[in-house]
Amino acid sequence: MKHTGAEIIVKLLERQGIQQIAGIPGGANLPIYDALARSGAIRHVLARHEQGAGFIAQGQARTTGKPAVFFATSGPGATNAISAMADAKLDSIPVICITGQVPRGLIGTDAFQEIDTYGLSVPITKHSYFAQSAEELLEIVPEAFRVAQSGRPGPIWIDVPKDVQMELAAFEAWPEIGRPDPAPAIEASAIEAAAAMINAACRPIVYIGGGAIHSGASGAVRSLVEKLNAPTVMTLMGLGALPVRHALSLGMLGMHAAPFTNRALEECDTLIALGARFDDRATGKVARFCPQAKIVHIDIDAGELNKIKNAHVGIVADLSDALDRLSPRIAPRPRDSWNTRVGALKRDYPHYLTDLENPLSAYGIIDYTARMLEGETYISTDVGQHQMRVAQSFPFERPRQWLTSGGLGTMGFGLPAAIGAALERPDATVVCFSGDGSLLMNIQELITAVEENANVKIVLCNNNSLGMVHQQQDLFYGKRIFASNYSRAVDFKTIAEGFQMAAFDLGESTDPVLLLAEALRMQGPALINVPIDVAHKVFPMVPPGGANCEMIER
CATH of the domain at 336: 3.40.50.1220
Cα 382 to Cα 55, 59, 537: the distances in Å are 11, 12, 17
Average pLDDT of the segment spanning 209-228? 97
Whether residue 155 lies inside any domain: the answer is yes
136 in the same domain as 199: no
Whether residue 329 lies inside any domain: the answer is yes
What pTM did the predictor assign? 0.97
Model confidence pLDDT, tens digit, residues 426-460: 999 999 999 999 999 999 999 999 999 999 999 99
pLDDT at res. 148 = 98
**Amino acid at position 58, single letter:** Q
CB–CB of 100/30 below 8 Å?
yes
159 in the same domain as 125: yes
Q: Which of 348, 377, 407 is the last residue in one of the domains?
A: 348
Number of structural domains in the chain:
3
Whether residue 119 lies inside any domain: the answer is yes
H-run or E-run covering 391: helix 385-393
Mean of per-residue pLDDT scores for the chain? 97
> Residue 376: which domain range?
364-531
- CATH number for the domain harbouring residue 515: 3.40.50.970
Whether residue 519 lies inside any domain: the answer is yes
Nearest-angstrom CA–CA distance, 379 and 434: 11
374 in the same domain as 478: yes
CB–CB of 535/466 below 8 Å?
no
401 in the same domain as 464: yes
Residues in the chain: 554
CB–CB of 431/457 below 8 Å?
yes
Nearest-angstrom CA–CA distance, 422 and 218: 23
Nearest-angstrom CA–CA distance, 238 and 205: 15
Q: Which of 116, 141, 170 is the last residue in one of the domains?
A: 170
Q: How far apart are the first and last CA of the chain?
A: 69
434 in the same domain as 309: no
Q: Where are the beta strands (DSSP E) in 285-440?
A: 294-299, 313-316, 377-381, 402-403, 429-435
Whether residue 357 lies inside any domain: the answer is no
CB–CB of 186/322 below 8 Å?
yes
Burial of residue 416 (number of CB atoms within 10 Å: 0-12, 13-18, 19+): buried
148 in the same domain as 23: yes
Which residues are catalytically annotated? Answer: 50, 112-113, 162, 468
Q: Count CB neighbours of 533 within 10 A.
A: 11
pLDDT at res. 553 = 85
User: Rounded to an integer, what is the distance from CA 314 to the centroid of its chain?
Assistant: 25
Nearest-angstrom CA–CA distance, 312 and 534: 45
Model confidence pLDDT, tens digit, residues 13-31: 999 999 999 999 999 999 9
Question: Which residues make Cβ contacts (< 8 Å) with residue 104, sequence separation at least 6?
Answer: 132, 161, 163, 164
Q: Which residues, listed in sequence order, are joined to residue 44 by a DSSP beta bridge?
A: 21
CB–CB of 148/185 below 8 Å?
no
Q: Count CB neighbours of 135 within 10 A.
A: 17
Average pLDDT of the segment spanning 88-110? 97
Statement: residue 420 has pLDDT above 90: yes
Query: Which of these, 364, 269, 281, lies nearest to 312 by C-alpha position?
Result: 269
Q: Count CB neighbours of 108 within 10 A.
A: 10
CB–CB of 83/51 below 8 Å?
yes
Half-sphere exposure at residue 488, Cβ-oriented, CA atoms within 13 angstroms: 3
**Amino acid at position 456, single letter:** V
Q: Are strands 168-170 and 2-4 parallel, antiparallel or unpaired?
A: antiparallel
Rounded to the nearest 5°, which phi and psi values hold at 274?
-120, 105
122 in the same domain as 221: no
pLDDT at res. 554 = 79
Whether residue 514 lies inside any domain: the answer is yes
Q: Where are the alpha helices (DSSP H) in 215-255?
A: 218-228
Average pLDDT of the segment spanning 128-136? 98
User: What is 134-192 written as a DSSP string?
Assistant: TTTHHHHHHHHHHHHHSSS---EEEEEEHHHHH-EEE-SSPPPPP-PPPPPP--HHHHH
370 in the same domain as 263: no
Model confidence pLDDT, tens digit, residues 399-409: 999 999 999 99
pLDDT at res. 40 = 87
Statement: residue 349 has pLDDT above 90: yes
Query: Which of these, 153, 237, 242, lies nearest to 206 by C-alpha position?
Result: 242
Query: Which of these, 325, 88, 289, lies nearest to 207 by C-alpha position?
Result: 289
334 in the same domain as 402: no
195 in the same domain as 325: yes
Query: Which of these, 127, 291, 139, 273, lies nearest to 212 by C-alpha position?
Result: 273
Nearest-angstrom CA–CA distance, 418 and 416: 5
Which band of pLDDT confidence, cut at 50, 70 and 90, is reported for residue 86? very high
H-run or E-run covering 502: strand 502-505
Average pLDDT of the segment spanning 533-546? 94
Q: Which residues, listed in sequence order, are joined to residue 43 by a DSSP beta bridge?
A: 20
Average pLDDT of the segment spanning 398-420? 97
Q: Count CB neighbours of 422 within 10 A.
A: 29
3-state secondary structure of 233: strand
Average pLDDT of the segment spanning 305-318? 96
Alpha-carbon Rg for the chain, nearest whole angstrom, is 24
Nearest-angstrom CA–CA distance, 341 and 347: 10
Query: Which of these, 494, 191, 434, 162, lies nearest to 328 by C-alpha position?
Result: 191
196 in the same domain as 319: yes
* Helical axes 218-228 vs 319-326, angle rounded to 10°: 30
Whether residue 73 lies inside any domain: the answer is yes
Taken in order 276, 282, 285, 287, is the CA torsion positive or negative?
A: negative
370 in the same domain as 328: no
Taken in order 254, 255, 256, 259, is the CA torsion positive or negative?
A: positive
Q: What is the DSSP letter of 550?
A: G
Whether residue 537 lies inside any domain: the answer is no
